[in-house]
Amino acid sequence: MIIFPHCKINIGLQVISRREDGFHDIATVFYPLPLTDVLEIITANKISFHATGIGIPGDEAGNLCLKAYHLLQKDFPDLPPVSIHLHKAIPIGAGLGGGSSDAAFTLRLLNEKYHLDLSEVQLSDYAIRLGSDCAFFLQDKPCYATGRGNELSPFTHGELSGYQLVVVCPDIHVDTAWAYSKIAAKTPSRSLPNLVSQPVANWRDVVINDFETPVFEVHPILAGIKEALYTRGAYYASMSGSGSAIFGIFPKDKRVNDLAFENAKLFFL
C-alpha cells in the first residue's frame, strides 16, 4: 500500500512563551502543500526501513516512520513486521515538516492497512507523541495551531487556491533547537487569526514569522530571496517554520516559472 505524505508552510509564526516542559507556546497557521514524499508499507518477515531520494541524515533506526510503527506495535502486539520504503522529495531541514508528515502518514497507513480501527482522535494522540506538529498532517486542511503546535482548529480564511505559490529551498539547514534559543518569546500585540483573515495583499509587514530575525542575521541570503520574491511581484513572502524554505504567494496570472536562485531548489505549486 502506497501513500503520499505532504508538506506544509507556516503563515505567520508567533513564539509566545516558554513552557515548563521545555517546549514553547506558539501561534501559527499550518497550510498544506501538494509537494509530497512517497511512502510504501508491505508485510514482511522482519521490520525494515529503506529510503531513497533526498538523503536522510542520522541513523535510520531513529527515523520517525520506524518510531511510529513501534509506537503502535506496543499497543497492538499482533501488528505484523513490515518493510517501510520512503522516497524523500520534500527538502529536509527546511521548515516544511516533511519528517513529521512521514510519521503521521505512517500511522494513518498502518491503521488502514491492518484495520486497527483507530479514530481520528486516537491517531492524533499517537501523532502528538511523535512530534509537536505531527497531528496537523492528519488534517489535510489549513489549521490554526497553538500550544506546541498540537492544538488545532480549522482555519477557513486563509484559502490560497486562487494564487500560485513558489517555494524556494536553498542548500541551508537551520537547526530548530538553535533557532528557538535565539527567540525572545513575547505575547503578540495582534491576533494572528485576525491578521491572516485580511486579504493576502495586506499580509506584508504584519503577518510575521518570529524566526526570521535571528535566522536572517546568520543567513542573509534568505532575506535576499524573500526580497527578490517581492521584487518579482509576490503579494506576500515569508520563511516557513524555523527555515530555511522561503515561499512567495503570487497572483495566479503572474509569470514566475523563470525564477531561479543559485544553490536552491524551486517548487511551483
Contact call for residues 268 and 164 (beta carbons, < 8 A): yes
Contact call for residues 35 and 90 (beta carbons, < 8 A): yes
Exposure pattern of 157-174 as b/e (b: 16+ CB <10 Å)?
ebebeebbbbbbbbebeb
Active-site residue, 210 included:
no
CA angle 19/148/156 to nearest 5° reads 140
C-alpha cell at position 127: 501523532
Which helix or strand (DSSP H or E) is residue 35 part of? strand 24-36
CA 256 to chain centre: 23
C-alpha cell at position 259: 525564477
Q: Count of alpha carbons within 13 Å of 91, Cβ hemisphere only?
A: 23
Candidate list 37, 88, 102, 133, residue with the active-site label: 133
Helix 98-113 to helix 64-75 angle (10° resolution) is 40
The owner of cell 501559527 is 28
Active-site residue, 8 included:
yes
Candidate list 8, 37, 88, 102, residue with the active-site label: 8
Cα separations (Å) of 252 from 47, 70, 92, 245? 46, 44, 28, 21
Annotated catalytic residues are 8, 133
